[in-house]
Amino acid sequence: MPILSVRHVTTYRYRQPVAFGEHRIMFRPRDSYDQRLIAASLTITPEPASLRWLHDVFGNCVAVAVFQGRASALVFDCAITLDHTPELTPDFPLAPHAAFYPFSYGADDIADLSRSIERQHPDPRNEIDAWARGFIPPNGRIATQDLLAEMTRSVRRNFAYLARFERGVQDPVTTLRLKRGSCRDFAVLMMEAVRALGMAARFVSGYLYNPRGDRDRHVGGGSTHAWVQVYLPGAGWIEFDPTNGIVGNRDLIRVAVARDPRQAVPLHGSFFGFPADDLGMTVSVAVDEVDPNGFDPRGPNAAPVR
């Protein structure tokens, strides 16, 4: 159960002082049985006129900042410490009827899961359907966990990771054809494939931990990360990271979940000025393990959870 620290800094720069509209911030991890938030702080420069917190429709923790005055830079600096409990060899206790694919959700579940089963992107030639069904053997029956694990690891083996800094997500059909994309592109492709098989899937935004001394273990670090959760009867929402072939929550720090990636943008807002005033944005994310013997949650670098 390592104690992990996350430092997430986003900086916007402008050619001249500009005014700022409302900004919505999703940096705070979700408390759960497998990750316990110990300390969290958020410093915004210039200081906002007001900062309020809320839970969105998915239960994600959102901060809303409102500003007055002008500045030539806007910085969001978030520091987090949490106790992370990874499942190193995940073996999900599925309900008997869901142990093998195909299976059906119960009547009580389907009412809440239906929107997470709906396809969100066009697939006019059924290319994603064909790719998803390619993981099913000719007899049409496969262990559910094996099906999802093989789909996850296939993306890691056969697709090339490409960091993209453009806003939005690449169309999943394009990702499938090009065999390359960012973590959020791979997440959306797998979501659509899982939904094509009739299972509920949702988008997860968060952070990726690369253990010290093993920095090449994963790709997609240094910024926010994205992966998928699939709802499996008996086990609940289970993590699958197609970018790194991870099954389960190992090295994944969950911040926000959503039906659509547009609902889990880590930070978005507006400024008032000329388009040419925008000099761009930089994002820095560092995730490290904290020595539990030297860690003091009351210390100067660990603000209390609030």
**Cβ-proximal residues to 30 (8 Å cutoff; 6+ apart), any chain:** 59, 60, 61, 254, 255, 256, 257
The pLDDT score that the predictor gives to residue 220 is: 78
Computed on alpha carbons and rounded to an integer, the radius of gyration of the chain in Å comes to 20
Under CATH, to which class is 3-84+265-290 assigned?
mainly beta
Number of neighbours of residue 93 by Cβ within 10 angstroms: 9
> For the chain, what are the domain ranges?
3-84+265-290, 96-250
Which residue type is seen at 12? Y
Contact 43, 222 (CB under 8 A): no
Question: Helices 144-158 and 183-196 sit at what angle, rounded to 10 degrees?
Answer: 150
Amino acid letter at 156? Answer: R
As its CATH architecture, domain 96-250 has: Roll (3.10)
Q: Hey, what are 134's tokens? A: 């390619």
One pLDDT digit (tens) per residue for the chain, 306 residues: 689 999 999 999 999 999 999 999 999 999 999 999 999 999 999 999 999 999 999 999 999 999 999 999 999 999 999 999 987 667 889 999 999 999 999 999 999 999 999 999 999 999 999 999 999 999 999 999 999 999 999 999 999 999 876 778 999 999 999 999 999 999 999 999 999 999 999 999 999 998 865 656 788 777 899 999 999 999 999 999 999 999 999 999 999 999 999 999 999 999 999 999 999 999 999 999 998 766 555 443 444 343
Q: How far is CA 186 from the centre of its chain?
A: 11
Of 257, 298, 304, the closest CA to residue 42 belongs to: 304
- Tell me if 86 sits within 8 A of 250, measured CB to CB: yes
pLDDT the model gives residue 89: 63
Q: Do domains 3-84+265-290 and 96-250 have the same CATH topology?
A: no
How far, in Å, CA of 115 to CA of 298, rounded?
Answer: 43
